[in-house]
Structure 1
């Protein structure tokens, strides 16, 4: 584990002191998750490596989690995420982002920022865009009517084509 820890430290992973802002916790978790991928660790090793990054409030929280389970508990990534999300990414936050996704409209944005926001929020509603055709319909529904009407007869087969065509018609 020490060699693995040294390799992980070379990436200069950010520490996490805890926060009351879910977007900060989410950003941190996404960032360190990316850093773990090239190490090809087991789920348990991933959890152990991340636990070294906790400090202050987050470290106290993690220690309380560890005290509440048996010493021989084997951590899965899913179990870790559940605990982390319960503490730092509450269900209400995730529901708010899902509702924001459902209400998302292009409005005064150009296609590029609309597509960025669509992509960002879609992770909270992945079951609502279960395949590419549904994703395309949802994206199109949020486009300004002028753009949508110009594309009605176009033969668009992929989400990437839809983005490209939407930006072109804009």
Structure 2
């Protein structure tokens, strides 16, 4: 049994470390974050399990404290309740198994998509704790992270063959930066005249005008633009008359 002065001292210490009162939570992530935070505080203070239970339950108020009282009522001797017993009941109430399964599935389906590399990394780390068996090994962790990267980044990163997660993320960031330096900022959804071309008219004559490209993203790589117009040229759908400098050396076989 803790002496009252010791308990007050410990409460002051955990308050300084920003352990917060918990009342209730409709969002399971909030409940999980509360337990994670107080466990980090308890680890720093090297508290044994019995102190963890006493101090954690002191931080409960309103509906959460009602839960603690109901839990104690189920035991003939509440003093036998352990910290693990409390966490199990707490998670069953505020963080049910269905939510954990949903987070695990979210991790399994995670890809970079429209996220920036650092955003993808943050989400990957956040969700990986729900599927620790899949990323316990550093090599497996790197492989899964690589597989979720966008293709233009993944091809370069995979070639490096890195098995250190920190270095892998660093390389992915550098690759993305390199790609960004070769991209044109044209604004989301804008139609931009990339080339001046002549096209067949319905009457058979060729009509001169700009080739217009509708962008679905606010950034497009110059390599993709080159690939697009190479294809058009091969199909003789357009005849290029004026080519921007950054594409001139890359578009071969242009006719005028």
The structure having more radius of gyration, on CA atoms, is 2
**Which residue matches 1:142?**
148
* Runs of 5+ unmatched residues, structure 1: none
TM-score normalised according to structure 2 size: 0.63
CA displacement at 1:84 relative to structure 2: 1.0
Residue 13 of structure 2 corresponds to 10
Higher relative contact order structure (alpha carbons within 8 Å, sequence separation ≥ 6): 1
SS at structure 2 position matched to 1:151: helix
Q: Aligned to 2:64, which of 48, 58, 70? A: 58
Secondary structure, counterpart of 1:149 in structure 2? helix
Distance 2:28 2:159 in 1: 42
SS for the counterpart of 1:153 is helix
How far 1:4 moved relative to its partner? 4.3
Query: Residue in 1 aligned with 2:98?
Result: 92
In the alignment of these two chains, the number of paired residues is 170
Whose strand fraction is larger, Structure 1's or Structure 2's?
A: 2
RMSD: 1.5
Q: Greater CA deviation, 30-39 or 62-71?
A: 30-39
Distance 1:76 1:161 in 2: 41
Q: 2:113 aligns with which of 100, 107, 110?
A: 107
Range 59-68 or range 74-83, more displaced: 74-83
Question: Take 2:86 and 2:63, find their aligned partners in 1: how far apart are those partners?
Answer: 17
The question of whether the paired residues in 1 share the 8 Å contact of 2:107 and 2:128 is answered with yes
Distance 1:49 1:82 in 2: 17
